[in-house]
Chains A and B, each alone.
Chain A
């Protein structure tokens, strides 16, 4: 039961990351395509999302067949997702700080936070809360 939840989670997260990654790359390559409010045109950001998505998806066959060690893909996917969520958060936070100190804060909008790297990481936070802590405590002990 527990493994099927992990399998479902890996599949969904992988598909979301990969889908958003392709959209970001597509919007960048074909400027005529209107970028959605919540998915910017960014080729390298899109590449990052695709890699995270592929890490999640690479674990799916193993999780389905119960291969030992397949869980590693889920955990590394979570780790990458959280790390890049933090990158996006810090980048946006730095923009806010600069605007607050040297600009007009009224020009800053919370909509700037609507980037897949950040909001998809919220899903990973749930996964981390469920399974990640035990795994990463193991890393600290190793």
Chain B
């Protein structure tokens, strides 16, 4: 008579689980969804000797702590689905990371078999893994497999069938040390007050989950008769601290087992490991990240300078040619509208491309992944996962792809917070405003001022995240586990391609939306007929004067006010507007002179203006993507209102604080 069993394939992402699943089941697969969610469920079947085996492919997870939907699905299936055997697919080339999940599966006490997958790749690089010893130390059957070649499938199924026939299975518990174990013992004692609960879940496993602050485990306790006793134990516990202690202990156990089972897996550290030791260190990691970012901004300003001067010279030549065109209105359209508007944006392309090139080098070298890791501690302390830092870095280029990059964040409130704070991260479109004003009003340290503005954007983003977490979006961020790519020496071609992919849109924008914006502003500045171009009597002047009282406390004149209004379309238009409104099209370098000569503008007002541009409402494209990604007009409107309010407050503090410090006037 044939036997029927169910097995679950568990494992970290990217360990060849799906390949192994296909190698086991062949074409006998079907797909559906896990109950209540849209995560795809794959299952299949195979007959091995006289056993019919149903195989369920679980979502890839790094741990069984319920931080993400995938982890909850995998864990619930193992506990509630009661598979006869769990097969953990382990990447043989990355044993240390993979065995972390093994320690958690072992604690569940489920029948477990390890498929040591990608064993051929580990052997190719010289690793020698002793399967027998590994099986002995872990007390789990270990089978060598190469899913892509179908190797070891028969042996794996033999082990699965064997393991399904053995009973009972005991929990392989890790000793968590003198500080943690007594608390676990107390929790187990308390849990035994609820036999219904302990018959369903191993008490020690549940105690460990509670001690780690697992929200799913806490939900189970809320309806338990042991609730009060457990709450009284947990009330004096810092879950974050205990979670770290237990994770350290698991890695200690893995570190002790690995040298026994693999002769080369824990050999000499690679150059990448050595560099990581320094750049991700607790004390030096963040300072190193900060100085590298400062270096990038310093180069962005200084190296671009001669190239900006070259573009400026070309513009001046073209403006001279345009001045001779007849009729006169066409000359002002080309001179003031096109050259003054679009040209004043094009001049900053060297800055944008140099910054993007340097960010591409940092990314291609593998450093940005380390930066996210380094910032994880800080991010976690403000209530966000380290994963949120990656969209923040992408935001230095453009907020639109950055907000789309938040799709990798599984937790809804983590993702929403990351989306809402992203517009505070200064994109390339704001750089021209900073370069112009910092160069004019802070000529001694323009690079430092720009660096400071970028840091301010990050600080405001972090403070906002903390505020959201404490008020409208409470919760706890998921821990951040990421794979570090090895360091690479970036090639010039790859970095240039990345720079071009991200930077070419600014050229397209200059020929598209900025051109249209500049022409609209030119038309408003030249109308009604007969009015002096760009004067207070023009339509642009009327709009500016109508709104300007709102900005008067910040020290902004009506030209600046109009530029901010049009900057809502695209931030580059702020500069294009100023170029048009100051009527400097016939002399591209004259915008600088006009701004310096404007009595309304001093260094404090310039700083307040830069800070306002940094923080105020996102551009149209960013707003559209916020609407799309949040699926909510409410959050989109919140982003606009909150950003503008923060910008106004920050600029007000700078303007008024400066006025107080410098004797009652805004210098």
What distance in Å separates the Cβ of A139 from its nearest Cβ neighbour in chain B?
A: 4
Given contacts A48-B295, A69-B269, A139-B275, contact A94 B310 (CB under 8 A): no
A83 & B295 in contact (Cβ 8 Å cutoff): yes
A51 & B284 in contact (Cβ 8 Å cutoff): yes
Chain B 478-491, CB-CB to A under 8 Å as 1, else 0, gives: 00000000111100
Q: Which residues of B contact A79 (CB under 8 A)?
A: 275
Closest chain B residue, CB of each to CB of A138: B271
Given contacts A58-B284, A75-B274, A142-B271, contact A48 B294 (CB under 8 A): yes
Q: Does A23 contact B (CB under 8 A)?
A: no
A54 & B284 in contact (Cβ 8 Å cutoff): yes
Chain A to chain B: the 9 pairs with minimum beta-carbon distance, closest first: A138-B271, A72-B274, A91-B302, A98-B306, A76-B278, A142-B486, A139-B271, A97-B306, A142-B272
Closest chain B residue, CB of each to CB of A91: B302
Q: Which residues of A contact B (CB under 8 A)?
A: 42-44, 47-48, 51-52, 54-55, 58, 68-69, 71-73, 75-76, 79-80, 83-84, 87, 90-91, 94-95, 97-98, 101-102, 135-136, 138-142
Partner of A138, one of B270, B284, B294: B270
16 residue pairs from A and B, CB less than 8 Å apart: A42-B445, A44-B451, A51-B284, A69-B269, A72-B277, A84-B291, A87-B299, A94-B302, A94-B305, A101-B306, A101-B309, A135-B274, A136-B489, A139-B489, A141-B271, A142-B486
Chain A interface SS verdict (over half): helix
How many A-B pairs with Cβ below 8 Å? 100
B294 & A140 in contact (Cβ 8 Å cutoff): no
Q: Which residues of B contact A84 (CB under 8 A)?
A: 291, 295
Chain B interface SS verdict (over half): helix
B448 & A90 in contact (Cβ 8 Å cutoff): no
Q: Does B287 contact A (CB under 8 A)?
A: yes
B298 & A91 in contact (Cβ 8 Å cutoff): yes
A139 & B487 in contact (Cβ 8 Å cutoff): yes
A55 & B299 in contact (Cβ 8 Å cutoff): no
What distance in Å separates the Cβ of A47 from its nearest Cβ neighbour in chain B?
A: 7
What size tier do the contact residues of chain B reach? 35 or more
12 further contact pairs, Cβ within 8 A, besides A71-B274, A142-B271, A142-B488: A44-B451, A55-B284, A69-B274, A76-B279, A80-B291, A87-B298, A90-B299, A90-B303, A91-B298, A95-B302, A136-B271, A140-B488
B278 & A72 in contact (Cβ 8 Å cutoff): yes
Q: Does B496 contact A (CB under 8 A)?
A: no
Q: Does B288 contact A (CB under 8 A)?
A: yes
Q: Which residues of A contact B304 (CB under 8 A)?
A: 94
A87 & B295 in contact (Cβ 8 Å cutoff): yes
Closest chain B residue, CB of each to CB of A103: B309
A48 to B294, CA, bound (A): 8
Partner of A101, one of B277, B302, B310, B445: B310
Q: Which residues of A contact B445 (CB under 8 A)?
A: 42, 44
A102 to B312, CA, bound (A): 11
A61 to B310, CA, bound (A): 51
What distance in Å separates the Cβ of A25 from its nearest Cβ neighbour in chain B?
A: 13
Q: Which residues of A contact B287 (CB under 8 A)?
A: 47, 51, 54
Q: Does B620 contact A (CB under 8 A)?
A: no
B288 & A80 in contact (Cβ 8 Å cutoff): yes
Q: Which residues of B contact A95 (CB under 8 A)?
A: 302, 305
